[in-house]
Structure 1
Amino acid sequence: MSSPSAENKQIVRDFLEVFSSGDAAAIVARLHPDATWWVSGRMAGLSDTYTRAQLGVLLQGVTTLYKHGALKITPTSLIGEGSHVAVEAESYAELNNGRVYNNFYHFLFEIAEGKILRVKEYMDTQHAFDTFLKPQEAPQ
């Protein structure tokens, strides 16, 4: 019999695999009805706390920016204790505008009733800004 921590780590691994598919509906389906997703920093348009419904809208919009329709998130380390799973991860996506998004994260997941209840996401917000929001320079 596996421990609750091991089960929760598997829930998070499965979630990140589905997240990497870009299927917004499948991602949202793995979130608890009361789920929230908090993004670190003070960057307008990104740093905030999102409800399950708000995250679904955000994901549907952002997947259109990716050349292959998804942001691949690869966990490099997971530590589970009780209902919490801490994850170090790396992302990768080629964007339709020619930029590459390759960020590094620390996530803290909280699991309830077999679903993702809370996520705290820490990342390099400057890299996110430069990749997604910084105006592209005109060719000379």
Structure 2
Amino acid sequence: MTSERNREVVKRAWRSFSTRDEDLIATFFTEDAEWLAPLGNATAVALGGTHHMVSRDAIVRFLTIEFPRMFVSDVAVDFRGFYADGDVVVVEETMQATLANGNAYRNDYCFVFELRDGLIHRVREYMDTANGHRMVFGGV
């Protein structure tokens, strides 16, 4: 697929995440997809989950069941860029939300999507982990 088509796949996938529609979201991932986030990130710690999800089912479960347990309302994403080169699409964004503990959340992210045969095969997620911990768990 072309860079432009892959960029559009990722944009459509991102829009699907907010629907919480398991079947729809699943259509964007390979069965053996992986999602890797920084070890010890606040979301994984708070939810008692992993920083490395393996399988389409695990990713869909996180996006439809686990994510809304943590980010309970006012979820908004400000996209700053979608950049594509072949089968790699990079997304820069800022996410805001109200957390389950009532705290406001705002953090910058960079996602690297790797596609295979027009589907998302791997996601590498980067964020300010110290900032995330402060908002989720408090402290300095």
Q: Please classify the TM superposition score into its range, dividing by the shorter chain length.
A: 0.7 to 0.9
Q: Deviations over 1:57-110 (max 9, x none)?
A: 333123033333x74333211211110011111111122422112111111111
Does the alignment pair 1:67 with 2:72? yes
Change (3 A) 1:89 1:131: same
Query: How far apart, CA to CA, are the structure 2 residues paired with 1:22 and 1:71?
Result: 12
Q: What TM-score do the two structures reach when normalised by structure 2? A: 0.78
Letter in 2 for 1:118: R
Q: Deviations over 1:6-41 (max 9, x none)?
A: 01111111112222x151513333211111000024
Does the alignment pair 1:49 with 2:49? no
**Corresponding residue for residue 29 of structure 2:** 31
Higher strand share: 2
SS of 1:91's partner is strand
Query: How far apart, CA to CA, are the structure 1 residues paired with 2:129 and 2:50?
Result: 8
Matches within 5 A, 1:1-140: 4-19=2-17, 21=18, 23=20, 25=22, 26-43=24-41, 45=45, 48-51=51-54, 52-59=56-63, 60-68=65-73, 71-132=75-136, 134=137
Letter in 2 for 1:34: D
Query: How far apart, CA to CA, are the structure 2 residues paired with 1:89 and 1:61?
Result: 20
| Deviation, structure 1 residue 47 | 6.2
Q: Which has the larger radius of gyration?
A: 1
Identity %: 27
Query: How far apart, CA to CA, are the structure 2 residues paired with 1:125 and 1:47?
Result: 15
**Once superposed, what is the RMSD of the aligned Cα atoms?**
2.5
SS of 1:102's partner is strand
Aligned residues: 131
Q: Residue 92 of structure 1 contacts residue 100 of structure 1 at CA under 8 Å; is this kept in 2?
A: yes
